[in-house]
Amino acid sequence: MKSRSKYKTRQREILVEYLKSVAGEHITASDVFNYFKEQGATIGQSTIYRQLESLVDDGIINKYIIDANSPACFEYVDHDSHKDGKVCYHCKCEKCGCLIHLKCDELSGTLDHLYAEHRFKLDPKRTVFYGVCEKCI
């Protein structure tokens, strides 16, 4: 948590509102830009990048790096949907490029094992599992 916003601005508010409204989806910076452009409520792209970074630092959204030359994805952190205690993992298909949200108890167990036995605390927010999806196998 490097930075923390000090002012409550219109731009930040409608940005969070938008991200909340599409919770569960993966949104890129340009998605955000285009959305507000269509709405007529333009936000400068530098503001979008700066606010997204700030929101990540504040834990309000997550940032996913899918691929080196794809834009970063952002996703609203729905604290309610974590009530089942299950973490959401991200699987990226190398062939079709689709992104899969996965909740898997066995995988969660493995993370515990990694921590207990190998002293490595895996960060599911940051880790993307690459492979081949159902449709492309």
Partner DNA sequence: TTGCGTGCAAAGGTTTTGCATGGCA
Partner DNA sequence: TGCCATGCAAAACCTTTGCACGCAA
Q: Tell me: does residue 12 bind DNA (CB under 7 A).
A: yes
Q: How far is the CB of 64 from DNA (least distance, A)?
A: 10
DSSP 3-state of 124: coil
The one among 16, 22, 23, 72 contacting DNA by CB under 7 A? 72
Q: Tell me: does residue 109 bind DNA (CB under 7 A).
A: no
The one among 94, 96, 97, 101 contacting a copy of itself by CB under 8 A? 94
Structural contact between residues 32 and 52, judged by C-beta atoms closer than 8 angstroms = yes
Closer residue to a copy of itself (CB): 23 or 91: 91
The one among 51, 62, 76, 90 contacting DNA by CB under 7 A? 51
Rounded to whole angstroms, what are the CA distances from 32 to 12, 69, 126?
12, 18, 21
List the interface residues with a copy of itself, window 1-60 (CB under 8 A).
none
Distance between CA atoms of residues 64 and 126, nearest Å: 6
The one among 16, 23, 35, 45 contacting DNA by CB under 7 A? 45
| Lookup: tokens for 38 | 């269509």
Rounded to whole angstroms, what are the CA distances from 12 to 54, 56, 133?
10, 12, 36
Structural contact between residues 75 and 64, judged by C-beta atoms closer than 8 angstroms = yes
Q: How far is the CB of 66 from DNA (least distance, A)?
A: 9
